[in-house]
Structure 1
Amino acid sequence: MTNYKKLIIAVDLSEDSAPVADRAQGLAADSGAELHLIHVIEPLSFAYGGDIPMDFSGIQDEIHQQAAQQLTRFGEQYGIPPERQHIVLGRPEVEIHSKAEEIGADLIVVGSHGRYGLALLMGSTANGVLHGASCDVLAVRVGACKTKS
């Protein structure tokens, strides 16, 4: 039995999000915890740098609208009401920490691809969330690197 009261599930809205949410939902069912979802959209300027003389605002708005629709559908599958579904713009690890503190989460549930070698040295969202979190973090193994039982 866990003592968790508020869990925040960090999702990228890919197929890997379902096992992360399933694990969090199982924990919440055991403890009666409140579930929240967060999806972080990285600004296109982070990916392309600030030196490109283009206005990304229209594209960024479209990305936000599509993500909002996907998050709504995803949240409905897990019975998470709209007021506990959060879409934010920024660096994932920073925004996940911030939202977790804002809502008083005592557990962050995030997917991890179990990277190794150079990919591990370069970092990942799960690694960034783990370091600097003010609450517990559960990294759920997802993707191709998942171990078989």
Structure 2
Amino acid sequence: MTGVVIVGVDGSETAMKAAQSAQHLAKALGASLRVVTAFDSDRTEVFEIGGDRWIVSDASEAEKVARTVAEKLQTEGLEVSYTAARGKPGEALISEAELVDARLIVVGNRRMQGLGRVLGSVANTVAHHAPCDVYIAKTDNRP
């Protein structure tokens, strides 16, 4: 395999569309696929019921989202990994790309029109600051 393709997911339908595009691109490039979910806080809650104790954190919830998507994208001949990365989504994807020396970052085009375009979007942030190529997948339902 040559290189790593990174895709950011948040559990939404549009993110899954971007992830499926990333899966196809990774296979075509002979690369591995890394699924990343960002979390922006270190909030942790502890729940105790009887003798049982559960610890729930933003990081563990983000990792669960990434793992679920990674499992759905598993296919023969494709190495798929996942992680939770701290930071705002665009910044987290850029940091992860630098960490693994990614070949490509795949993001969806959500919030690329109208007010979202003016205020910024994950795709906009990544496109302007990525250390590698960026692919913006069409994930909205507009023609």
Q: Which residue of the other structure, out of 73, 82, 86, is the alignment partner of 1:85?
A: 82
Choose the corresponding residue for 1:131, options 128, 131, 136: 128
Does residue 37 of the first structure (1) align with residue 35 of the second (2)? yes
Point out the more displaced range, 9-18 or 33-42: 9-18
CA contact (8 A) 1:75 1:81 kept: no
- Sequence identity of aligned pairs in percent? 29
Which residue is 1:113 aligned to?
110
In angstroms, what is the RMSD of aligned CA positions? 2.4
Paired residue secondary structure (1:131): helix
Structure with more strand by fraction: 2
User: In the alignment, is the contact (CA less than 8 A) between 1:114 and 1:141 conserved in 2?
Assistant: no
The normalised TM-score by structure 1 is 0.75
Does residue 66 of the first structure (1) align with residue 61 of the second (2)? Answer: yes
Q: Gapped runs of 5+ residues in structure 1? A: 45-55
Deviation string 1:1-58 (CA, Å, 9 cap, x unpaired) is xxx63101111121112211111111122221111111101228xxxxxxxxxxx442
Kindly report structure 1 stretches of 4+ aligned residues shifted beyond 6 Å.
none
Distance in 1 of aligned mates of 2:62 and 2:88: 16
Q: CA deviation at 1:114?
A: 5.0
Aligned residues: 131
Give TM-score, length-normalised by structure 2.
Answer: 0.78
Correspondence 1:141 to 2:128: no
Gaps of 5+ in 2: 47-54
